[in-house]
Amino acid sequence: MALSLLKRGIFLALVWLALTGEGGLAAALEPEALAFGLPSVMAALWLSLRLSPPLRPWRIWRALRLLPGFVAGSVAGGIDVARRALQRRPAVRSGWLTHRSHLSPPGRVVLGGALSLMPGTLAAGCHKGRLLVHVIDREGGFETAAGREEARLAPLAGGEDETASTGGGA
């Protein structure tokens, strides 16, 4: 919480500094500017914490660790879709599949987004812990790939959800 407060405070102070105009830091530190700026930054900080309370620490390196796997999967998927499109008789066996997810509801949203970014898949919703996904090839190993993607996203996207095992949740 303290780190989130510090990050937001610094960000809002920098926004205020940018809005002070041509005088830059010297003008922002004048008593008249501080008398208006400090209460404004404090009010904006209070409002930001009320409207969007910090849920968990921001860990950008966790997201960056996912990038190589996502790029590799996207390239492989793109090659597969292009190969299918260029065949005389495209090998398309499209259809709807479900994937049982054990991620929290926000984690399922992240998983659905990640799956939708991969060529040949489109996550269309979630019901009782199951993602509904349209795929270009029903026999192309989607369940294995979705499970692998879920395992990769779990540290970033919200871990396990108790309601998924009981049939509740989003």
Which CATH number do you get for residue 150? Answer: 3.30.70
In a shared domain, residues 45 and 90 = no
Task: Please give the share of the chain, as a percent, with pLDDT higher than 90.
Answer: 10
Please state the rounded mean pLDDT for residues 152-162: 66
Give me Rg for the CA atoms of the chain: 23
What pTM did the predictor assign? 0.55
Higher model confidence: residue 1 or residue 42? 42
Same domain assignment for residues 106 and 157: yes
Q: Give the mean model confidence (pLDDT) for residues 2-16.
A: 85
Q: Which is more confidently placed, 13 or 90?
A: 13
* Residues 31 and 90 reside in one and the same domain: no
- Whether the CA torsion 71, 77, 81, 84 is positive or negative: it is positive
- Shared-domain flag, residues 90 and 154: yes
Does 81 map to a domain?
Answer: no
pLDDT band at residue 42, thresholds of 50, 70 and 90? very high
Q: Which residues of 32-64 are buried (b: 16+ CB within 10 A; e: fewer)?
A: ebeeebeeebeebbeebeeeeeeeeeeeeeeee
Residue 64 lies in a domain: no
- Specify which residues 121 forms β-bridges with: 135
pLDDT surpassing 80 at residue 56: no
Task: Tell me if 73 is assigned to some domain.
Answer: no
Q: Are residues 90 and 157 in the same domain?
A: yes
Sequence letter at residue 56:
R
- The arithmetic mean of pLDDT across residues 82-99, rounded, is 85
Mean pLDDT of 157-161: 57
- The whole domain housing 102 covers 86-166
Q: Mean per-residue pLDDT for 30-42? A: 88
Residue 23's pLDDT band (cuts 50, 70, 90): confident
Same domain, 162 and 116: yes
Tell me the mean pLDDT in the region 114-139.
Answer: 85
The answer to whether residue 109 sits within a structural domain is yes
Residues 94 and 29 in one domain: no
Q: Do 92 and 40 share a domain, yes or no?
A: no
DSSP 8-state assignment for residue 153:
H
Residue 37 has pLDDT above 90, yes or no: no
**Residue 66 domain-assigned (yes or no):** no
Total structural domains within the chain? 2
Let me know if residue 150 belongs to a domain.
yes
pLDDT band at residue 159 using 50, 70 and 90 as cut-offs? low
> Is residue 67 a part of any domain in this protein?
no
Do the beta carbons of residue 106 and residue 76 sit within 8 Å? no
pLDDT band at 93 (very low <50, low <70, confident <90, very high): confident
Within 8 A by CB and 6+ apart from 145, the residues are 73, 118
With respect to residue 75, please indicate whether it lies within any of the assigned structural domains.
no
Same domain, yes or no: 92 and 31:
no
If asked whether residues 42 and 92 sit together in one domain, one would say: no
